[in-house]
Amino acid sequence: MQTNLIGHISTIFREKFGHVPAHIARAPGRVNLLGEHVDYNDGFVLPAAIDRATYIAFSPTGAPHSTLWAADFDQQVSFSPETISTKSQVDSSPIPEWGLYPAGVMWSLMEETLPAFSMNAVFASDVPRGSGLSSSASVEMAFMLAWQTLGGWTLPPMRRALLGQKAENHYVGVNCGIMDQFASACGVENKLLLLDCRSLEWKTIPLPEHVSIVIADTTVRRKLTSGEYNKRRAACDEAVRLLQQDLPYIESLRDINVEEFNRLAKKLPGEIEKRARHVVEEIERSNQAEALLEAGNVRNFGRLMNECHISLRDLYEVSCPELNVMVNIAQSIDGCYGARLTGAGFGGCTVNLVARENAIEFSRTLAKGYELETGLPPEIYITRASNGAELLR
């Protein structure tokens, strides 16, 4: 897949710009195993960068503006530092939605007074869009690396992730946490990443040898996801505000344990209580992840994944019928330790932890069962944890 995409963008680059690109970079998508919707509540997350990525071919240009060609859309944008703040192109037309991600990266670099020199670029991705695998973060991290390469400055990967998050929060307008950009920037081959979203300290955790991560794409895409996402985030902020009346020292839902929460839960309006309960219990679950994985206790870790799905479905209410069908079938197949929706939800993918020896048969059975029940052919693949964003040439 990787070599195909590199060949594809290089060919288009030559056609568009008349020479071979000076550089190629890639930045992966991610899958999250545990700790869902807790990154913006200062919790712990356990993602891995995956072997699907955004690839970008790029060269510096003497022009005053950058010209970017999105091979997946057959569309081009041209913008410069002068047009960025109005989200417009050099011809004054608005930057299309897909272009807001690279433009947002340029904007956040300008905010830091880091040079984002003009470039010609062609990019394409095999991270399916809107699927919960962070295609947006992979685009942001690919462009961040491209501008770093041309700008002659170097930021540590976590700083690049934070600037990508800033672009998405303040330029694109999605109030996301740090998990996706972090995983895309900091991924490590064959490892899970455990991030404390408060201190931003992180470490790698080896994935036990005998298990595979299987991603199952329902192929259902929901619109208005960012609106619902921002609403969930606002509900968490509201829960903190109300709980502070009794616990003035708490700064986020990370600061309250399940026991304390149970004691005070009645004081919260029903919907806010459900949202906050998911977060508080999910942080407790993700707190157990490291010890379980280190002890090789995949069975109990898988149970936490299953519990996480129920909580996302019933308390956080970010699942959908197709995701529930995919999870229910997966959990009934031999060799499946745990299955749940991954990412923001409202459609997209599930993540499954499966005994390696069963992974191929599991994928076949799951695909058949899902199509039988929904009429939709899913896309199912065994993924490998990969490195984070890197310059390939």
Cα torsion 105, 110, 113, 115 to 10°: value is: 70
CB of 315 to ligand GLA, least distance (A): 14
CB of 130 to ligand GLA, least distance (A): 11
The reply on whether position 36 binds ligand GLA by CB under 6 A is: yes
CB of 221 to ligand GLA, least distance (A): 14
* Burial readout 146-168 (b: 16 or more C-beta within 10 A, e: otherwise): bbbbbbeeebebbebbbbbbbbb
Active site residues: 180
Residue among 29, 104, 157, 343 that touches ligand GLA (CB under 6 A):
343
Stretch in the footprint of ligand GLA (CB under 6 A) among 36-44, 109-117, 156-164, 350-358: 36-44
The reply on whether position 316 binds ligand GLA by CB under 6 A is: no
Q: Which residue has the tokens 């209580």?
A: 273
SS3 content of the chain, % helix, strand, coil (to 5): 45, 20, 30
The reply on whether position 39 binds ligand GLA by CB under 6 A is: yes
Q: Which is nearer to ligand GLA, 39 or 255 (CB)?
A: 39
DSSP output for 153-202: ----HHHHHHHHHHHIIIII-----SHHHHHHHH--TTEEEEEETTT--E
Number of residues that bind ligand GLA (CB under 6 A): 11
Q: Which of residues 122-141 bind ligand GLA (CB under 6 A)?
A: 134
CB of 36 to ligand GLA, least distance (A): 4
The reply on whether position 101 binds ligand GLA by CB under 6 A is: no
The reply on whether position 281 binds ligand GLA by CB under 6 A is: no
Distance CA 145, CA 233 (A): 29
Collapsing DSSP states into helix, strand and coil, what is residue 68? strand
CB of 307 to ligand GLA, least distance (A): 15
DSSP output for 287-348: HHHHHHHHTT-HHHHHHHHHHHHHHHHHTS----HHHHHHHHHHHTSTTEEEEEE-SS-SSS
The reply on whether position 180 binds ligand GLA by CB under 6 A is: yes
Distance CA 150, CA 351 (A): 36
Residue among 57, 179, 240, 327 that touches ligand GLA (CB under 6 A):
179
Q: Which is nearer to ligand GLA, 179 or 256 (CB)?
A: 179
The first and second tokens of residue 350, run together, are 């599930």
Distance CA 342, CA 30 (A): 10
Q: Which of residues 230-269 bind ligand GLA (CB under 6 A)?
A: none
Name the amino acid, one letter, at 23. Answer: H
Q: Which is nearer to ligand GLA, 36 or 217 (CB)?
A: 36
Residue among 37, 65, 275, 277 that touches ligand GLA (CB under 6 A):
37
Stretch in the footprint of ligand GLA (CB under 6 A) among 74-82, 173-181, 276-284, 350-358: 173-181
Name the amino acid, one letter, at 158. Answer: M
Residue among 40, 55, 101, 346 that touches ligand GLA (CB under 6 A):
40
Stretch in the footprint of ligand GLA (CB under 6 A) among 31-39, 101-109, 303-311, 371-379: 31-39
Cα torsion 160, 166, 167, 168 to 10°: value is: 110
Q: Return all residues near 223 (Cβ < 8 A) that are at least 6 apart.
A: none
Q: Which is nearer to ligand GLA, 83 or 184 (CB)?
A: 184
CB of 323 to ligand GLA, least distance (A): 14
- Cα distances from 229 to residues 164, 234, 268, 317, 346, in angstroms, run 18, 9, 20, 11, 9
* Contact residues: ligand GLA, CB under 6 A: 36-37, 39-40, 134, 176-177, 179-180, 343-344
